Amino acid sequence: MTTRIASRDGVRLALHELGDPHGSPVLMVHGFSSSARRNWLDAGWDRAFADAGLRGVALDLRGHGESDRPPHGYDVARFIDDVDAVLEATGLGATGLERPGYLGYSMGARLGWRYAAAHPTAFSALVLGGLPAGDPFRGLDADAARAAIARGEPADGAAGFVVQLATALPENDTDALVALAEEVAHTPFEASETLTTPTLLMTGDRDVHASDTETLLPRLADGRFEPIPGRNHINAITSRAFKQHATAFLVEHAD
Amino acid sequence: MAERTFPLPDLGEGLIEATILEWLVEPGQWVERNDPLVEVETTKSAVELPSPIAGTVKTLHGTDGDVVAVDAPLITFEVADAEAGIVGTVPTETKKERRVTLKKRS
């Protein structure tokens, strides 16, 4: 089931329900240039959540999936606002009720980290998959990315990363995705805060984009790292090991 | 008993093939409809394919790491005779979101 809500600036966001409708709630946030469908539904997480007794609320980030794709308006503060809007519209942020867990992949993991750093009690637990310790958007030359896409060629550095992902899937809006990366790059990720929310970090042991996830462990007051055997940044999302560890951790820490 | 073979579906990326990442079933195993069958990957994404029917797995057309063309045979089931050859069956479950599924081989 898909519903739409409005964020603070009026951008409409799509939410997809999956798993066990009566289970413990988990907010699920996909990665850059992916979508709730690609990252979770097509990858088999509906079944994994249903089997574990978890209810997934999977957000399409602005600029992605079935959410609005404005030409601008992708600064980090708006993504934080979007999480606020989802928690409010779904009732998952209500005080006194069961807090949701959070499952994010790549840029969705980054957003979960940023949100939990500012709101330490918002989520019962975080599972952050494919999370780079550094910021892949840092130093992005957005004009170089646009030029490379126009020419149909690869690019170097951060632009190369953005071009590769933004052009990967036919449903993507490359203009919106480059604008997103450009605005997010204005607030480079610094793992300066210590997270107190219980956190499980998981990354494919062949993931060249997030090979340094484990170096974030000292920033977790209550966290651990599990590798996803044999997987890279793209194909980790269907992994049994990822699903089993993630769902067990979310169930264990559910309110 | 009868056999039904399902081909690798189009994963919606304009690509003509995919790689078998990991089989989640083995020959002789009984699977229910919607049980996870296999993980497949392209250079762009990874997908878990659910079983389109209930039946006994007879043949896996490829092993982990093999490249399979879209529309080439992926898996063959042994099914009760009543299950074979039925067309136009109305699903009894409520409508779900679009997902990549196996289609009956024409």
Q: Please say whether the beta carbons of A223 and A246 come within 8 A.
A: no
Q: Hey, are the CB atoms on B46 and A47 less than 8 Å from each other?
A: no
Out of A41, A169, A234, name the one closest to residue B99 (CB): A41
Phi, psi of A163 (to 5 degrees): -65, -45
Tell me whether residues B36 and A47 touch, CB distance under 8 A: yes
Choose among A34, A168, A238: nearest Cβ to B47: A238
Residues of A with CB under 8 A from a CB of B: 1-2, 16, 34, 37-38, 41-44, 47, 168-170, 234-240
B80 three-state secondary structure? coil
Distance CA B101, CA B74 (A): 12
Give the Cα separation of A67 and A60 in Å (integer).
6
Q: ipTM score here?
A: 0.89
What pLDDT is recorded for position A179?
97
From chain B, pick out residues whose CB is under 8 angstroms from the CB of A240.
22, 24
Q: What is the largest CA-CA distance in chain B?
A: 39
Residue contact B97–A16, C-beta within 8 A: yes
From the list A10, A168, A188, A60, the residue with the least C-alpha distance to B12 is: A168
Q: Cβ–Cβ of A43/B46 closer than 8 Å?
A: yes
Interface touch A1/B34, C-beta < 8 Å: no
- pLDDT at residue B85, as a whole number: 57
Answer whether A42 sits within 8 Å of B48, measured CB to CB. Answer: yes
pLDDT digits (tens, 9 = 90+) for A113-146: 999 999 999 999 999 999 999 999 999 999 999 9
B37-92 per-position pLDDT tens digit: 999 998 889 999 999 999 999 999 999 999 999 999 999 999 887 665 554 444 44
Q: What is the pLDDT of residue B84?
A: 58
Query: Shortest Cα distance from B49 to chain A (angstroms)?
Result: 8
